[in-house]
Protein backbone atom coordinates (compact mmCIF):
# COMPACT_ATOMS: atom_id res chain seq x y z
CA UNK A 1 0.00 0.00 0.00
CA UNK A 2 2.90 2.35 0.62
CA UNK A 3 3.88 2.30 -3.08
CA UNK A 4 0.30 3.25 -4.02
CA UNK A 5 0.45 6.34 -1.80
CA UNK A 6 3.89 7.16 -3.09
CA UNK A 7 2.75 7.03 -6.71
CA UNK A 8 -0.13 9.40 -5.94
CA UNK A 9 2.29 11.78 -4.25
CA UNK A 10 4.71 11.67 -7.19
CA UNK A 11 1.87 12.27 -9.67
CA UNK A 12 0.58 15.19 -7.61
CA UNK A 13 4.05 16.68 -7.29
CA UNK A 14 4.65 16.40 -11.04
CA UNK A 15 1.26 17.95 -11.73
CA UNK A 16 2.03 20.84 -9.36
CA UNK A 17 5.42 21.43 -10.98
CA UNK A 18 3.95 21.46 -14.48
CA UNK A 19 1.16 23.79 -13.39
CA UNK A 20 3.67 26.19 -11.88
CA UNK A 21 5.85 26.12 -14.98
CA UNK A 22 2.95 26.87 -17.33
CA UNK A 23 0.96 29.24 -15.16
CA UNK A 24 3.99 31.25 -14.05
CA UNK A 25 4.41 32.42 -17.64
CA UNK A 26 0.70 33.18 -17.94
CA UNK A 27 0.83 35.27 -14.76
CA UNK A 28 3.84 37.28 -15.98
CA UNK A 29 2.17 37.93 -19.32
CA UNK A 30 -1.07 38.93 -17.60
CA UNK A 31 0.76 41.35 -15.28
CA UNK A 32 2.64 42.91 -18.18
CA UNK A 33 -0.58 43.26 -20.17
CA UNK A 34 -2.38 45.10 -17.37
CA UNK A 35 0.63 47.29 -16.61
CA UNK A 36 0.62 48.32 -20.28
CA UNK A 37 -3.05 49.33 -20.00
CA UNK A 38 -2.59 51.52 -16.90
CA UNK A 39 -0.42 51.64 -13.80
CA UNK A 40 -1.28 48.82 -11.39
CA UNK A 41 -0.43 47.99 -7.79
CA UNK A 42 0.02 44.54 -6.31
CA UNK A 43 -3.35 44.47 -4.58
CA UNK A 44 -5.13 45.37 -7.83
CA UNK A 45 -3.30 42.77 -9.91
CA UNK A 46 -4.01 40.07 -7.30
CA UNK A 47 -7.73 40.92 -7.55
CA UNK A 48 -7.58 40.95 -11.35
CA UNK A 49 -5.79 37.61 -11.51
CA UNK A 50 -8.29 36.26 -8.97
CA UNK A 51 -11.10 37.07 -11.41
CA UNK A 52 -9.36 34.71 -13.83
CA UNK A 53 -9.10 31.88 -11.34
CA UNK A 54 -5.56 32.48 -10.08
CA UNK A 55 -5.27 32.40 -6.30
CA UNK A 56 -1.98 34.15 -5.69
CA UNK A 57 -0.55 35.45 -2.45
CA UNK A 58 1.46 38.64 -2.08
CA UNK A 59 4.49 36.35 -1.69
CA UNK A 60 3.95 35.27 -5.30
CA UNK A 61 2.76 38.50 -6.94
CA UNK A 62 5.31 40.96 -5.57
CA UNK A 63 8.36 38.91 -6.61
CA UNK A 64 6.88 38.76 -10.14
CA UNK A 65 6.45 42.56 -10.17
CA UNK A 66 10.00 43.04 -8.87
CA UNK A 67 11.40 40.56 -11.42
CA UNK A 68 9.66 42.34 -14.30
CA UNK A 69 10.94 45.67 -13.00
CA UNK A 70 14.54 44.36 -12.75
CA UNK A 71 14.21 43.04 -16.31
CA UNK A 72 13.32 46.55 -17.47
CA UNK A 73 9.73 45.68 -18.46
CA UNK A 74 8.10 47.66 -15.63
CA UNK A 75 8.84 50.87 -13.82
CA UNK A 76 7.37 51.77 -10.45
CA UNK A 77 6.45 54.81 -8.44
CA UNK A 78 5.27 55.16 -4.85
CA UNK A 79 1.93 56.82 -4.16
CA UNK A 80 -0.23 57.34 -1.09
CA UNK A 81 -3.84 56.28 -1.70
CA UNK A 82 -6.40 56.68 1.09
CA UNK A 83 -3.55 56.99 3.58
CA UNK A 84 -1.89 53.76 2.39
CA UNK A 85 1.46 53.55 0.65
CA UNK A 86 1.16 51.81 -2.71
CA UNK A 87 3.73 51.11 -5.38
CA UNK A 88 2.27 51.39 -8.87
CA UNK A 89 3.83 49.60 -11.81
CA UNK A 90 3.61 50.64 -15.45
CA UNK A 91 5.02 48.99 -18.56
CA UNK A 92 8.13 50.57 -20.03
CA UNK A 93 8.77 50.91 -23.77
CA UNK A 94 10.82 47.71 -23.52
CA UNK A 95 7.94 46.02 -21.70
CA UNK A 96 5.51 47.04 -24.44
CA UNK A 97 7.86 45.62 -27.08
CA UNK A 98 8.13 42.38 -25.10
CA UNK A 99 4.35 42.27 -24.72
CA UNK A 100 3.87 42.73 -28.47
CA UNK A 101 6.30 39.88 -29.20
CA UNK A 102 4.65 37.67 -26.58
CA UNK A 103 1.21 38.36 -28.05
CA UNK A 104 2.41 37.24 -31.47
CA UNK A 105 3.82 34.03 -30.00
CA UNK A 106 0.68 33.51 -27.92
CA UNK A 107 -1.55 33.99 -30.97
CA UNK A 108 0.53 31.49 -32.95
CA UNK A 109 0.45 28.98 -30.09
CA UNK A 110 -3.31 29.40 -29.53
CA UNK A 111 -4.01 28.72 -33.20
CA UNK A 112 -1.81 25.66 -33.18
CA UNK A 113 -3.04 24.23 -29.88
CA UNK A 114 -6.70 25.24 -29.93
CA UNK A 115 -7.43 25.18 -33.65
CA UNK A 116 -4.96 22.76 -35.28
CA UNK A 117 -6.77 22.73 -38.64
CA UNK A 118 -6.42 26.54 -38.87
CA UNK A 119 -2.65 26.14 -38.51
CA UNK A 120 -2.51 23.99 -41.64
CA UNK A 121 -2.47 20.76 -39.69
CA UNK A 122 -5.20 18.20 -39.54
CA UNK A 123 -7.16 18.14 -36.33
CA UNK A 124 -6.02 15.36 -33.99
CA UNK A 125 -8.00 12.18 -34.22
CA UNK A 126 -9.90 11.16 -31.14
CA UNK A 127 -8.22 8.36 -29.24
CA UNK A 128 -9.83 4.98 -29.59
CA UNK A 129 -10.94 3.21 -26.48
CA UNK A 130 -8.63 0.41 -25.37
CA UNK A 131 -10.00 -3.06 -25.25
Q: What b/e string do you get for 65-89 counting C-beta neighbours within 10 Å, with b at 16 or more? A: beebbeeebbbbeeeeeeeeebbbb
Distance from chain centroid for Cα 19: 11
Q: Which pLDDT score, from 0 to 100, does residue 96 have?
A: 98
Does the reported pTM lie above 0.85?
A: no
List Cα–Cα distances, 47 to 14, 60, 63, 94, 118, in angstroms.
28, 13, 16, 25, 34
**Is 1.10.10.10 the CATH number for 17-118?**
yes
Task: Tell me how long the chain is.
Answer: 131
Q: Which pLDDT score, from 0 to 100, does residue 31 have?
A: 96
Show the CA angle centred on residue 49, arms to residues 43 and 52, nearest 5°: 150
Mean pLDDT per block of 10 residues along the chain (131 residues) reads 58 78 89 97 94 90 96 97 94 98 92 75 61 56
DSSP, res 7: H
Largest CA distance in the chain: 67
Q: Which pLDDT score, from 0 to 100, does residue 125 have?
A: 61
Amino acid sequence: MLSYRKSISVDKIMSDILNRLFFAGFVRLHVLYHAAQEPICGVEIMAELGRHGYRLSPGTVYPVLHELERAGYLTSSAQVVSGKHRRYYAATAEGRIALKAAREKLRELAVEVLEPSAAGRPAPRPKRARR
